[in-house]
Amino acid sequence: MVADERIAEFNAWAERDGWSTRADASLQFRSPKLRECLEVFTRAADGRAIAARAALTPRAMKNFLSNVVVWDVLRGDGGIRFRVRVMGTPLQRIWRGKAGDFIDEVVPEPFRNRWHRSGNLSLEVGAPLRFSGTVQFANQTFYHSETFQTPLADPGEAPNAILFVHIVEPRAFRAAADAEAEARAR
């Protein structure tokens, strides 16, 4: 399957690049907010692989709206560019971005290439993906992140946006949560 091949290529590239983030199509989210996001997306998609942008309203996403980022997908002679359309306030504090920013103009390397590759993977797969890993951005502390990521498109149209619902936690918090979950499983 093409999606599996693209995901495997992305993960192999991420490993070579020293980036701990990995993609998968399992959609087995650990975060309750991301599990809710998947339910909202599934209803909005109404049996299609990709939901229409208008179907994912702020009201539908109210419980995780502060974790939302939407990139516009702009196609031109120079290829695809991504522009931030929406970014929740907590994520603005972490990533230092704002609406209207072009990723290729404001995100430094090596992060720019990584972000572009993850956006392109979503467009190539054409369905929701789960991204998970430990990330570092600029001079900030390491964080654990889990992300629901999917292209958005009107029926019969090419995707014109990518939706991210991004949960970011300090690594120490994630380690404690993992230990607690493991203890409950025993």
pLDDT in tens, 53-80: 899 999 999 999 988 989 999 998 889 9
Question: In Å, what is the CA distance from 102 to each residue of 87, 105, 159?
Answer: 13, 5, 17
pLDDT at 141 over 70: no
Q: How far apart are CA 82 and CA 98, in angstroms?
A: 13
Residue 2 is predicted with a pLDDT of 81
Q: How much is the mean pLDDT over the chain?
A: 85
Residue 35 is predicted with a pLDDT of 96
Predicted confidence band of residue 94 (pLDDT cuts 50, 70, 90): low
pLDDT at 183 over 70: no
Give the count of domains, the chain.
1
Q: What is the mean pLDDT of residues 9-31?
A: 94
Predicted confidence band of residue 92 (pLDDT cuts 50, 70, 90): low
% of the chain at pLDDT higher than 90:
56
Residue 42 is predicted with a pLDDT of 96
Q: Structural domain of residue 173, as residue ranges?
A: 2-185
Angle at 32 between CA 186 and CA 124, to 5 degrees: 115
Written as six digits, the tokens of 157 are: 């149209």
pLDDT at 28 over 90: yes
CATH of the domain at 52: 3.30.450.20
* 107, 113, 114, 118: CA torsion to nearest 10: 100
Instruction: Say which range, 43-57, 76-90, 154-168, has the weakest mean pLDDT.
Output: 76-90
In this prediction the pTM is 0.85
Q: What is the mean pLDDT of residues 32-54?
A: 94
Residue 139 is predicted with a pLDDT of 60
Residue 117 is predicted with a pLDDT of 95
- Conformational region of residue 60, where left means phi above 0, alpha means psi within -120 to 50, and beta covers everything else: alpha
